Amino acid sequence: MRIIKAYKFKRLNRSLGVDLLLFAVIGMVACFMALPLVFTINNAFKPIDEIFQFPPKLFVRNPTFKNFIDLVHIFNDSWVPFSRYIFNTFFITTTGTAGHVLLASAAAYPLAKIKFPGRSVLFSIVVLSLMFTSHVTQVPNYMTISWLGLIDTYWAIILPAFGMTLGLYLMKQFMEQIPDALIEAAKMDGASEYRIFWQIVMPMVKPAWLTLIIFALQNLWSGSAIKFIYSEQLKTINDVFGQIAAGGIVRTGPVAAVTLLMMVVPITVFIVTQSNIIQTMSTSGLKD
Amino acid sequence: MAPYFLIFTTFTVVPVVMSLLLSFTHYNMLEPPTWAGWSNYIRLLVQDDVFLIAVKNTILFAAITGPISYMACFLFAWLINELPPRLRAFLTLVLYAPSISGNVLLIWQLLFSSDSYGYANSFLMSWGFILEPVQWLQDPRYMLGILIIVQLWLSLGTSFLAFIAGLQNVDRTMYEAGAIDGIRNRWQELWFITLPAMRPQLMFGAVIQISTAFAVAEVSVNLLGFPSVDYAGHTIVTHLMDFGTIRFELGYASSIATVLFSMMLLTNLLTQKLLRKVGE
């Protein structure tokens, strides 16, 4: 009884019954949503006869590491060392993500908080461009990149990633919520725009850029670079894995192992960033 | 700010403007484009019967998945938000799992496999609802429905995460103030405090959901095949892919993109109007 009382005291406007009901719903949905994760993990440890078993089973019966060992053998045979592919992917992903988060945030701040002519026009262009399908812009995009001489370099992937639309829009929406009074107060105290950006704005929108890191990373990590990068030593892990899968049906086991390995990095980053998303809004007595 | 917009213009604005211009030309990527005036659009709206099927499918699809997935994104973000950080991170991962793992559609192929071993068929047969397996992914009666279910399952994506982050930005003191002002339950709190405080994120989510709901293609191609039986899973974007990447009629494909773009634009205007009413 005391627990329930403490519970009521701690949380405003909540009742235990509705809480339980809602979380039962979440639990059921969660089981359903977790299916692909469960499936991928199980598949990676299945011996070859279980992978091809018909009708297929979700759970593995005789777990084995054979798929991973086979994968190592495949990589030992390739003429570009596997570590080079890892380096390529890490370089593209980290540079692209860092650059995009920084540039998009820096561009979002004036768009959200500084009044200048043409601001709303600029912003509508950004939102509109989110709605244009990439299928038709691919060809003009290729022409631009080749004209800039970026084909077959890392920058063919990294540079466009810097200018992705999503980040700017996300950051701008979050920065809009920061009270103007806070920024004006900082200005009164003599802080430069640069300092306001780094010491007030960015800490306050921490949940936003943590989320943006996931989006950018996921995009670059699992995206294909095959359209722009042809040299074997510059290829990303993802594209190399595609080549392994193209090796035919005997590669099914290693491919299952690959699928699991490819998920490890995004999931790790995801867990780290998500558990760091904490309350940041502190208006400390400010009134708009 | 300048560096971002320089890159943004080069890799986003220029290609969009170019394809807008291309939509008024005949262009096969080998010969230089020739001016076509409105003929692409006329052909699209008057002569292309398949396009009309695609439009019908897309609108039906967007009208169902758009609003439901948008609300689901918010609802789950909101419910999860009250949990302690670790549990919240774990549940977020589980709910976001379909968007982060690569081979998600395989599960659905298994489930709706058309022989009697597919999970859906074997379940329905053992319960006696049906006597022989249903060709779920080849029968036009079920295809659009399955597409909708799968897309809904995939829907806790970008906007979901944006909402989770947005909820962290809501000022906690407003809830206490609200309780004093007479807010008595969580639903009132949601409508009068949380939703209005999250308006920027709600607008963001709306744009994202609209563009995903209208641009559905990948799920259809992977699950139902391309082209799908009787065009039952044909959408505007698969139609566009047909002309852009198979027939190399890039001018025509661009005009399809422009029509799609204007549909999204209109929906977005309506949605933003509705969102302004939230919390009143």
Over residues B237-270, the pLDDT tens digits come to 888 888 877 888 888 888 888 888 888 888 888 8
Q: What is the pLDDT of residue B279?
A: 65
Answer whether CATH 1.10.3720.10 is correct for domain A73-283.
yes
Residue of A104, A128, A211 with shortest CB distance to B165: A211
ipTM over 0.90: no
Mean local confidence (pLDDT), A7-28: 71
Task: Identify the band that residue B39 occupies on the pLDDT scale cut at 50, 70 and 90.
Answer: confident
What mean pLDDT is reported for chain A? 79
**Total residues belonging to chain B:** 280
pLDDT at A285 over 70: no
Do A137 and B22 make contact, defined as CB atoms within 8 angstroms?
no
CA distance A103 to A228: 23
pLDDT at A8 over 60: no
Q: What is the pLDDT of residue A98?
A: 92
Q: Could you tell me if B98 and B156 are in contact, meaning their C-beta atoms sit under 8 angstroms apart? A: yes
Peptide bond into A160 cis (omega under 30): no
**Total residues belonging to chain A:** 288
Give me the residue spans of the domains in chain A. 14-64, 73-283
Which of B5, B11, B76, B201 best tests the A interface by mutation, with the highest count of A CBs <10 A?
Answer: B11
CA distance B44 to chain A (A): 16
CB within 8 Å of A268: residues ≥ 6 apart: none
Q: A177 — contact with chain B (CB < 8 Å)?
A: yes
